[in-house]
Amino acid sequence: MTAVAVRAAKLLEGMGIEAEIIHMPSVKPLDEELIIRTAKKTGCILTIENGRIIGGFGSAVAEVVSGEYPVLIDMMGIGDTTIKSAPLSDLMREYGLTPEGTANRAKALISR
């Protein structure tokens, strides 16, 4: 998902929005200090994962910021639905996990 985030950041840059990208390959161990530092710097967090958001990476990040430094959070991934079977590129589009989808969610988040 990091490549999608990097491409989304470039789209946002074209809109005059600066994004910070953090690559965390696992939920455990979770770099809580980095998450809090980013929350303080950016004022909001958008997580993106290619799995379920319920109980996933976004939930772990939300737990950290809610207890330490509450900010607006949005989580991108697969919601509470039956996961379809299709080529990965089709699934990424289906769930909005594209650079364009990510940039749009980020822009909406900072506009709240």
Q: Whole-model pTM above 0.95?
A: no
Instruction: State mean pLDDT over 32-37.
Output: 96
Instruction: Look at residue 16 in the predicted model and tell me its pLDDT.
Output: 95
Neighbouring residues of 55: CB distance < 8 A, sequence distance ≥ 6: none
Termini Cα distance of the chain: 24
Confidence tier at 71 by pLDDT (50, 70, 90): very high
Instruction: Look at residue 88 in the predicted model and tell me its pLDDT.
Output: 85
Residues 77-112 pLDDT 10s = 988 888 888 888 898 999 999 999 999 999 999 998
Contact 45, 64 (CB under 8 A): no
Confidence tier at 42 by pLDDT (50, 70, 90): very high
Closest CA to 51 of 32, 74, 78, 75: 78
Range of the domain at 88: 2-111
| Beta bridge pairs of residue 72 | 44
Q: What is the CATH number of the domain that holds 94?
A: 3.40.50.920
Instruction: Look at residue 51 in the predicted model and tell me its pLDDT.
Output: 86
Lowest mean pLDDT segment, chosen from 44-48, 55-59, 69-73: 55-59
- Which tokens is 91 given? 């699934």
Domain count, the chain: 1
* Chain centre distance of CA 9: 12
